[in-house]
Amino acid sequence: MTSETFLQQLQDYYDREYEAIQLESIKHWLERFAGPQLDALLVRAEKLNKYLPKIFELNAAAEELGFAWEQKLGRAHPEHVWTPTDCRLCHGQGRLSIFKEVFKVQVDGGLQMRRRQTRILPLEGVDTMDYRYKHPTEEEYWCRCSCPAGDTPVLVTLGWPRYMRATEQAAGGVGK
């Protein structure tokens, strides 16, 4: 199975589609897995999740299956080391979770899906875990912070999109 097939089958299964930028993040993330791992991951993700899984939920399924980076890359997953900074967005982690609320609006007699950004939090932390827990239906997007911490080679290598506040407003998406 290729990552394209994986994403297609996953979206078909839940009869829902990922937003373009979310699709891009997940595609990059999937590149670490070999074909047979993707087969197993698809089955596991569908079993674990009631709704179209967010990237952290796919990650949880992969971890549960014991799939680690080194299986595909033949080397250890480069560790993301960071030091606290005064960045108000990532606190030095360089990694952000952007949360979006999904809602439907009536347009020309039909319903359309819309997304509204609700929170930006450092990817890891008690507040972030708490927010995820309290807002299970919101979508979560991972990206690199716009501050220098987001330039960490490990994150660049992982292909994470970059969060740019101005760009986001102009393009309607993160990291475009």
**Orientation angle between helical segments 35-48 and 55-64, nearest 10 degrees:** 110
Q: From the CB of 152, what's the least distance to Zn ion, in Å?
A: 10
Looking at beta carbons only, is 123 or 145 nearer to Zn ion?
145
Smallest separation, CB 108 to Zn ion (Å):
41
Query: How far is residue 139 from each of residues 39, 60, 103, 108, 115, measured CA to CA in Å?
Result: 24, 15, 11, 26, 9
Q: Which residues in this chain contact Zn ion in the complex, by CB under 5 A?
A: 87, 89-90, 145, 147, 149
Say if CB 80 and CB 95 are below 8 A apart: yes
89 versus 155: smaller Cβ distance to Zn ion: 89
**C-beta of residue 44 within 8 angstroms of C-beta of residue 66:** no
Nearer to Zn ion, 92 or 173 (CB): 92
Cβ of residue 157: shortest distance to Zn ion, in angstroms?
A: 18
Residue 53 or 150 with smaller CB distance to Zn ion: 150
The encoded tokens of residue 97 equal 């979770």
Q: How far is the CB of 40 from Zn ion (least distance, A)?
A: 35
CB of 90 to Zn ion, least distance (A): 3
Residue 125 CB-density burial (10 A; 0-12 exposed, 13-18 middle, 19+ buried):
middle
CA distance 71 to 63: 12
User: Which one, 58 or 89, has the nearer CB to Zn ion?
Assistant: 89
